[in-house]
Structure 1
């Protein structure tokens, strides 16, 4: 057994050095086009639609249709219903994809308002009349309160919606 271990150790020591480095090479030049440091998304000045594509569409898809297969509820025609129940407004800011987005508080407020716009947003008629737009200050107050039980919190809000007679059409297969 000892001989086997020594033979294995000798093989490892005799192997050529690995090509990957654990530490970056200070002499390495950046790839063409990457010479300047990247601008953080929050400072890039993208439109709200571009921010949606960069921060939300990966899960909720391009038009907010979601994907039950990936456990991602749809937003289109539904997400405004969260504003109809106690705790729903804060929930939309605290959802991890929103709270942890690479956007400023003002950009998150702008993005939520864009999604929830009753006339032009993907929430459509699900947004209640009298919707008060989010502000950067509100987002800043709520955003950093971690949502520790996303499924449980969401289920509680959905139960409140059902108690109010709101039809649940979130694409998750549970009418």
Structure 2
């Protein structure tokens, strides 16, 4: 009798688990507001500032300050320095967050140019001879995989130091 009671109790406890594995109803309707498929970011025509929030701010924060705790460098007032060293221009396109973003090549070029504005993230770090990125340039560079981000970045930081550029990215050691 006791074992029968235990078996019954086990069955009663297992029933909710079995019900949780039920096959979803294929005729179920979307929740209100979700009736149409989501528009891909590359086709959504968001502003550049919104694209920054969607693609970059998760790591670099909304103002570009970065996070030393998360090993994410500061862009604000520093990112323009990459354009002052060999390979830095390509690096900015090839950073995984950029190259693997859902943005089109034109949107990515627009976003980098937006970041590079002197009144934007780059600030005073932007070189005087800045040439805006183009859709064609981004398309040519974007798909070259960066196999070792930390090493590539360290090489660029070393070049900056050799030019006397103060490294104030929030994560590099002096």
TM-score normalized with structure 2 length = 0.88
Instruction: Tell me the CA shift for residue 143 of structure 1.
Output: 0.5
Deviations along 1:4-31, one digit per CA (max 9) or x if unpaired, are xxxxxxx79x93325146x654222111
Structure 2 stretches lacking a partner, 5+ long:
1-9
- How far apart in 1 are the matches of 2:115 and 2:34? 33
Tell me the equivalent position of 1:29: 29
- How far apart in 2 are the matches of 1:98 and 1:19? 40
Tell me the equivalent position of 1:104: 104
TM-score normalized with structure 1 length = 0.87
Query: What SS class does the counterpart of residue 15 from structure 1 fall into?
Result: helix
Tell me the equivalent position of 1:86: 86
- How far apart in 2 are the matches of 1:154 and 1:18? 52
- How far apart in 1 are the matches of 2:52 and 2:127? 22
Tell me the equivalent position of 2:77: 77
Instruction: Tell me the CA shift for residue 83 of structure 1.
Output: 0.3
- How far apart in 1 are the matches of 2:75 and 2:93? 14
Tell me the equivalent position of 2:6: none
Measured on the aligned residues, the alpha-carbon RMSD in Å equals 1.7
Pairs aligned (count): 162
Structure with max Cα Rg: 2
- How far apart in 1 are the matches of 2:60 and 2:170? 11
